[in-house]
Structure 1
Amino acid sequence: MATFALIHGGGGSAWDWHLLAAELRGRGHDVVAVDLPIEDESAGLLDYADAVAEAVGDRRDLVVVAHSWGGFVGPLVCARVPAELLVLVSAMIPAPGEPPSDWWANTGFEGKDMSDPVALFLHDVPRELAEELLSKSRDHADKAFAEPWPLDAWPEVPTRFLLCRDDPFFTPGFMRGVVRDRLGITPDEIDGGHAPMLARPGELADRLEGYLAGRS
């Protein structure tokens, strides 16, 4: 069995993963999900990675799973602790020296109407879950947005990317190009919107176990 370290996206929390965590634990895996210190004005990207690494401790057979903005943190964790696999789920892919705030222009991301976050991020999440997620949203301090991504190169860990076919925010066509250009791989795909951990936790757990077994 594996240990899954689950890294939430911008404004999120460990709660975002609670359905997936239950699925994985029910299959015999260990799960580590932490609240990144995103509200701490003094915390930067390395502090975020440290929070995950400290929670992982000496666990082994580690699979790091990063969602959305958490893509800036997942590789940093893999550079700190031994990991068997890194899985990016509808995630941002950083380049060496790139501040997260520059990612949008550097990748050619087209701005979106943010007035309806449910439609943009949570359209296939059950309404009560979507409302609870929004009620738990946290402010994200500026430091980690502005500082350069600190690695010189991608960590030497097998990496998979899972994009969401019905994601109105990180649309499939856009993300296929980013994954090709930045990782040099073809992404895998899953149905649904930006938050499969809440909309499709069982299917996402199937995918993660498939990666672990080398089946898909």
Structure 2
Amino acid sequence: MATFVLVHGGGHGGWCYKPVAQRLRAMGHEVHAPSLTGLADRRHLMSDAIDLETHITDIAELLEFEDLTAVILVGHSYGGMVITGAADRRPARVGHRVYLDAAYPRDGESLYEHAYEAIHGARQGLHEADGVELVMAPMPGMAAFFGVTDPQLGAWTDARLTAQPWACFTQKLALTNEAAMRAIPESHLVCTSTLAGRDLALLQARSQGRVWDVDTGHDLMLTEPDWVAERLDAIARL
């Protein structure tokens, strides 16, 4: 069976993978779903020093200290920035990269540049707390922004969302070992609604056709956990 490291997106935490992690573990897989520094159960570590590189280091060091190899590294949304950087830092420990309706950045690109329309909208909520510039301040009903429309699941999600340092979205990705990172197999699980904004020819070519889509909201790991877990299990069996 495979080892998965599931990396969440902006404003989320490892909690958002609970339904998928439960299913993968029931299939016999090992699953790690950490929260990135400053978010969710690690929100007490919030500081003005947190940026994209902090979160890349979070995952790279997890791979190192847990002595994980042949890892299937999964990133959702902003997490696509993080897994790209972590696979670049620790290519020998990563066996597959999976982009879950995620950012798919180029070297030297920030998330703000990569997904300008969506992130510029989030920027309108920019505010400061304890000297840290933050976006995505949690509020009732915010889960709907991520495509979670079920009232019970939405309330559970709203209770767990946290604000994110703005620097995570503006710091440019700096790749140091891009050839080795790109040599790692990749797959893409995306929402049908985001297909139009993606370079499908590039994704198909780099993943040898492993691009699947599902008609659901952006937080597909919450709204379609069976589908996501089944696809991840299929990738593990390649």
TM-score for both structures, normalised by structure 2: 0.76
The structure in which a higher percent of residues are helix is 2
The corresponding residue for 1:203 is 227
- Per the TM alignment, residue 64 of structure 1 is displaced from its structure 2 partner at its CA by 0.3
The corresponding residue for 2:195 is 172
How many pairs align?
Answer: 205
- Per the TM alignment, residue 190 of structure 1 is displaced from its structure 2 partner at its CA by 2.2
The corresponding residue for 1:121 is 146
Native 8 Å contact 1:122 1:130 kept in 2 = no
Asked if 1:55 corresponds to 2:80, the answer is no
Structure 1 Cα separation of the partners of residues 72 and 231 of structure 2: 12
The corresponding residue for 2:189 is 162
In structure 2, the CA distance between the partners of 1:110 and 1:61, relative to structure 1 (3 Å rule), is: closer
Native 8 Å contact 2:111 2:119 kept in 1 = no
- Per the TM alignment, residue 174 of structure 1 is displaced from its structure 2 partner at its CA by 1.5
- Per the TM alignment, residue 18 of structure 1 is displaced from its structure 2 partner at its CA by 0.6
Of stretches 54-63 and 21-30 in structure 1, the one that deviates more from structure 2 is: 54-63
The corresponding residue for 1:65 is 74
Q: Deviations over 1:14-62 (max 9, x none)?
A: 1000111111111111111111114432022222122123333202231
Native 8 Å contact 2:147 2:216 kept in 1 = no
- Per the TM alignment, residue 129 of structure 1 is displaced from its structure 2 partner at its CA by 1.8
TM-score for both structures, normalised by structure 1: 0.83
Structure 2 Cα separation of the partners of residues 4 and 189 of structure 1: 20
- Indicate the percent of aligned positions where both proteins have the same amino acid: 25
SS in 2 for 1:94: coil
**RMSD, matched Cα:** 2.6
The corresponding residue for 2:89 is 80
Of stretches 113-122 and 49-58 in structure 1, the one that deviates more from structure 2 is: 113-122
Structure 2 Cα separation of the partners of residues 146 and 203 of structure 1: 32
- Per the TM alignment, residue 131 of structure 1 is displaced from its structure 2 partner at its CA by 1.5
Structure 1 Cα separation of the partners of residues 236 and 113 of structure 2: 33
Asked if 1:90 corresponds to 2:105, the answer is no
Asked if 1:46 corresponds to 2:73, the answer is no
Native 8 Å contact 1:41 1:142 kept in 2 = no
Unaligned runs of 5+ in 2: 39-45, 125-138
Unaligned runs of 5+ in 1: none
Name the aligned partner's letter for residue 58 of structure 2: A
- Per the TM alignment, residue 151 of structure 1 is displaced from its structure 2 partner at its CA by 0.8
In structure 2, the CA distance between the partners of 1:36 and 1:109, relative to structure 1 (3 Å rule), is: closer
Q: Deviations over 1:116-150 (max 9, x none)?
A: 644442245x3222212122111111222222111
Superposition map of 1:144-155 within 5 A: 144-151=168-175, 153=178, 155=181
Name the aligned partner's letter for residue 7 of structure 2: I
Name the aligned partner's letter for residue 210 of structure 1: A
